[in-house]
Structure 1
Amino acid sequence: MNAKIRKLVVQVDETRVEMGRSIDPPTRKAVAIAVIENPCAGRYVEQLDELIAIGEALGALLGQRAVAALGIAPGQAHSYGKAAIVGEGGELEHAAAILHPKLGAPLRVAVGKGAALVPSAKKLGGLGTAIDVPLGHKDAAFVRSHFDAIEARVADAPRAGEIVVAVAVTDSGRPLPRIGGLQVDEIQGQDGLR
């Protein structure tokens, strides 16, 4: 991997009770975050292939870390998402390059399929900037019970020449979903929509 990683952070969010109701099994979301050096910081770079390659490598690393944090087999993953925050020495297009669709192929291996697009978010920010990593079902975008997000934040990042890259994975949808739509047991997983 060409990425110069300063820090890795992995967090798990587990909901056991919602509105006084027990959630059994609990709903769990994991976010794996890498703080990396931005090789394009401080200058205009026409071809962002280096960042695209770094994103591809991080898709595997962070996807595997998130799945491992949940303690599940890859095929048991339900949702995924990705996000990046670029420090002030970079530009928004650097986040777009990191989150390029090439990040998705190794992430899909880490979660055992993934017919749907990987939802993403990107922004510029300084130390401690937070970003909501959007989540959607990995095989069917129309599964409303899995429309969600998890916040990613690293207190000392991104520094001016860094990028914070986050990949999130869940083992379920939201607690107590009840807004209808396609159900998990109805997923065909062919076109990424249904």
Structure 2
Amino acid sequence: MSPSTLETIRQIFVFERNTLAEGGRAAAAPSRHVVAAAIFKNPCAGRGAATDAELADLAQRSVEIGTLLTERALSHFAGEEKPRAYGKAALVGTAGESEHGAALIHPRLGLAMRTGLGAGPALIPGNAKVSTAGGSVDLLFGGADDAWDYDAMDGITLAIPGAPGPDELVLFVGFGTVRINARVKGASAEQVAKVVADIRARRQA
């Protein structure tokens, strides 16, 4: 563990949501979503637009912190409650820029999350924004093994009082089972591909 990265962490939070019933109906299957978050110093704060090298450094830091957060989040699942959904998000303090958050969640973080989960070829939903202290962010969950797993699609709104400070970043890593009583189905990947192909064909006609 790099002291230049992990020793800059100010606080770690773990959010756990267990939805037992909704709409007067008990959960047909466990609906558990766990998000681990770390608040840490933004090395690029106050420097203006980050260089490519600085963004690459943030991406590398996300692997170390993401590994720690993945371990914390996954420790809340036991037995047959293996997660089939994942998501990620970041909040950037006001002395930073949104691209700092993008560097945290897009290039390398998925490596830590997929390694910890032991699954996950599907794209991980991600969201990052600049925020004042106490601001919220929506973390979206998508299927880990199948991006078209509609039952795994869900979301959670997260906020930490007092964070991020102007020179801080907050990284969120989330895992979940299924949306409570999920029963809405959408188009399959094959159906969507056919629709897109038809649209392109009409445009070229």
Alignment TM class, shorter chain as reference: 0.7 to 0.9
Could you tell which deviates more after superposition, 64-73 or 89-98?
64-73
Provide structure 1 residue ranges, at least 5 long, that are not aligned to the other structure: 184-194
AA aligned opposite 2:31: T
Question: C-alpha displacement at 1:182, in angstroms?
Answer: 7.7
Question: C-alpha displacement at 1:32, in angstroms?
Answer: 0.3
2:181 is matched with which residue? Answer: 176
Provide structure 2 residue ranges, at least 5 long, that are not aligned to the other structure: 189-205
More strand by share: 1
* Aligned-pair Cα RMSD in Å: 1.8
Q: 2: CA distance between counterparts of 1:164 and 1:88?
A: 12
Question: C-alpha displacement at 1:53, in angstroms?
Answer: 0.9
2:76 is matched with which residue? Answer: 69
- Which stretches of structure 1, 4 residues or longer, exceed 4 Å deviation after superposition? none
Question: C-alpha displacement at 1:144, in angstroms?
Answer: 1.2
Question: C-alpha displacement at 1:134, in angstroms?
Answer: 0.9
Give the structure-1-normalised TM-score.
0.87
36, 39, 58: which one pairs with 1:35? 39
% same residue: 35
AA aligned opposite 2:119: K
16, 21, 25: which one pairs with 1:12? 16
Question: C-alpha displacement at 1:24, in angstroms?
Answer: 4.4
Q: Indicate the SS of the match to 1:76.
A: coil
Aligned length: 181
1:26 is matched with which residue? Answer: 30
Change (3 A) 1:72 1:182: farther
Q: Indicate the SS of the match to 1:26.
A: coil
More helix by share: 2
Could you tell which deviates more after superposition, 61-70 or 6-15?
61-70
